[in-house]
Structure 1
Amino acid sequence: MDPFQQMSDWKQNMDHFFGEQFWDQFEGIIKPTIPQVNLYQTDNELLCIVNIPGLHDLEKLDIYVDYTTMELRGVIDIGHDGGMVIKEEILQGVFERTITLPFPVRADKIKATYKNGLVYIQLHRLVTESSRKNRVNVRLLEDS
């Protein structure tokens, strides 16, 4: 019997028993997310560092920022062909990743740079008039 068919049958049985959402909890373990991302926060800024080795054409990386969401799309290609793979820990291929940001960010103040396989994305907190502290005036009501 085909071992891949056995694996498929096994997964279908597990889906039936635990539910199809069961595997979502293990996605990061079974299939690590790419690209790897570090996110650092200060009071009014975010620094997102993204690991993308072998990026030669910056036009092949798409970064979209919308309020509290950042989307990354592109390809990781280390550019090696040939030979039998003995160990492969550097994940490569097409990626699409959405990252939820801890606060809304300004669309007009985003800076992204690339150096030594890392993309540095600087984001700034969106501060609007409605998000600033407003003092509330208290009125004295007269007894009637």
Structure 2
Amino acid sequence: MSRTTKKLAAIASTTAAAALAVAVTATPALAWTAGNFTATLNGNMVIDAGIAAECTDSTLTGTIDAAGNLTITDASVSGCGVTVTPEGLPWSGSLNNGVASINGFSMSAIGCTYGGNISGSFTGTDLPVTATFTEQTVAKTSGWLCPGSATVTATYDFNPA
């Protein structure tokens, strides 16, 4: 190989490596399909503030954007043995890198309201996904003679609406 050929080969190799580096760093992250979603309870939800309420039905509805950010505009809970009422909607949240979060989560029952941010896990890169929240502690936000906190355990199947 001549000296000129070696230089041209080195320049071509360097240029190809630089182009590959730019292509790899410029590749966009996987995006969620933006739109409406419905999340339905998979199994039972347990809200435990000293005495566990086991709920058999719950639905969350709202929107997801391309970055995985959630806006939960409606929530329902039933089959608990007591009336449980979602409060303070809309809630925000996200599905990001295997972490599911709901911010501003709030529910009341028997004169006690509990709320806060809950997080769990999920797998997948687009709907449908299943998110599991296990023994997430939420603080008492109102009520008299209510325990200071409660735990929430629930699994939701998120599907496009």
TM-score band by shorter chain is under 0.3
Q: What is the TM-score when the length of structure 1 is the normalising length?
A: 0.28
Q: What is the TM-score when the length of structure 2 is the normalising length?
A: 0.25
Name the structure where strand makes up a greater proportion of residues: 2
